Amino acid sequence: MTADSSTGPRRRGRHTAHIDTDTLIRAIDIAELMPEAARLRARGYQLLRLPADATVVDVGCGTGRAVAELAEHAAHAIGIDLDPAMLAAARSRFPDIDVRAADATDLPLADGQAHGYRADKLYHVLSDPYAALAEARRVLAPGGRIVLIGQDWDAEVFDSDQPELTRRIVHARADTLPHPRIARAYRNLLLDAGFYDVDFEVHGAVFTDAAMLPLIVGHATAAHQTGAISSDEAERWISEQARRAERDRLLFAMPLFLAAATC
């Protein structure tokens, strides 16, 4: 799914190794074009329950695919992102969409202007997801719908001959993010914020494409930078994953949680 977008981080955590924008966008493209990713996006659009004249906002829109798709479901779809490279890619790919640079806690919408709000793989990188959720309530009209989608970074799965080392890498990588486990809490987060009529689902994403290797390598690099694993352990794990990629034996999987609710 989209690595960040769908699966990998669109914004770096405290210790995440740098991944150049072109590599990240390629990984996002692979993830977003997977049938499972398309089905998950479609399920989210369905749960938004948008009327024909709706205004809907996609916060953390990345390269704009969801904004373009939402424009087919609503009168006005607005994409929000802070990354200039992502916004440039979105405008290049989908020239007719409305994307804007803004923060998730300060959206360029009036009170009650939106009928739908969507955030996909975003809240785990926000410094204050609770403020972002309060902003979602501000821009949503009464009866408006919110959809949150996100991966659980502490529950990722890698096929590896080194399970104990893999566990340390997964946990260390998760801990470089501000809120790596927030997706499992989406239901309670929405209820605590005053939303109701909550739907909560779990979906899965499985990646076997060698193009995902740079993102996978980033996990071990980040774990080494935090001191959780040694340089020799990082090299050993990266070498194994590279061999798997060469032999078409790579496997990276994660649970994705979808929560939808009414304002």
Q: What is the pLDDT of residues 13-53, one digit of tens each?
A: 333 344 567 777 877 777 787 788 899 999 999 999 999 89
The two structure tokens encoding residue 121: 């793989």
In which band, very low, low, confident or very high, does the pLDDT at 7 lie, cut at 50, 70 and 90?
very low
The two structure tokens encoding residue 120: 């996909």
pLDDT at 140: 98
Buried b (16+ CB within 10 A) or exposed e, 108-123: ebeeebbbbbbbbbbb
pLDDT at 91: 94
Please say if the pLDDT value at position 11 is more than 60.
Answer: no
pLDDT at 6: 34
Residue 55 is given by DSSP the state E
The two structure tokens encoding residue 80: 């929000």
CATH 3.40.50.150 at 21-153+178-206+254-262, yes or no:
yes
User: How far is residue 252's CA from residue 134's CA, in Å, rounded to a whole number?
Assistant: 34
pLDDT at 13: 32
pLDDT at 8: 37
pLDDT at 33: 76
User: At CA 237, angle to CA 183 and CA 249, rounded to 5?
Assistant: 80
210 touches 250 (CB < 8 A): yes
Please say if the pLDDT value at position 258 is more than 90.
Answer: yes
Please say if the pLDDT value at position 220 is more than 50.
Answer: yes
> How confident is the model over 82-121, as pLDDT tens digits?
999 999 999 999 999 999 999 999 999 999 999 999 999 9
Query: Mean pLDDT score of the chain, rounded to an integer?
Result: 90
Tell me the one-letter amino acid at 117: Y
- For the chain, the structural domain boundaries read 21-153+178-206+254-262
Tell me the one-letter amino acid at 49: R
pLDDT at 19: 57
102 touches 74 (CB < 8 A): no
Please say if the pLDDT value at position 10 is more than 60.
Answer: no
User: How far is residue 6's CA from residue 150's CA, in Å, rounded to a whole number?
Assistant: 9
For the chain, what percent of residues have pLDDT higher than 90? 81
pLDDT at 3: 35
